[in-house]
Amino acid sequence: MIGSKTYDVNSILEKIDQANVKYIRLIIIDIHGSPKSLIIKKEDFEDALTYGVGFDGSSIPGYSQIENSDLIAIPDPSTLTLAHWEYSKTAIALCNVYTPEYKPFPGDPRAVL
């Protein structure tokens, strides 16, 4: 996994299974502090933790121009929580944003902080 901390992916997936989670809402914060989200199925969460989820950075205010807009969101397992207010047993996780080369994206407010 990318980042300085190592997490046991199997134990994270086991907790999600025990909570009967069906979807994970991946949260990306824009430069105004507003959350933007991607929703993935539980079955795709292992790949998201390991490789991230690609998204178009030009769709997020202040992130990228259309010419170099490919970015990767990787969930931060320490922020994973059940969203009891969501429909269908959804969990949420904040994401760190990386370039396609898996370098920290300099426009990610979480990286800047």
Residue 28 and residue 19: Cα distance in Å, rounded? 23
**For 4-25, what is the mean pLDDT?**
85
- pLDDT, one tens digit per residue, over 63-107 is 876 667 899 999 999 999 988 777 778 999 999 999 999 999 988
Question: Rounded to two decimals, what is the model's pTM?
Answer: 0.85
pLDDT of residue 7: 74
pLDDT at 2 over 60: no
Query: Structural domains in the chain?
Result: 9-112 (3.10.20.70)
pLDDT of residue 1: 44
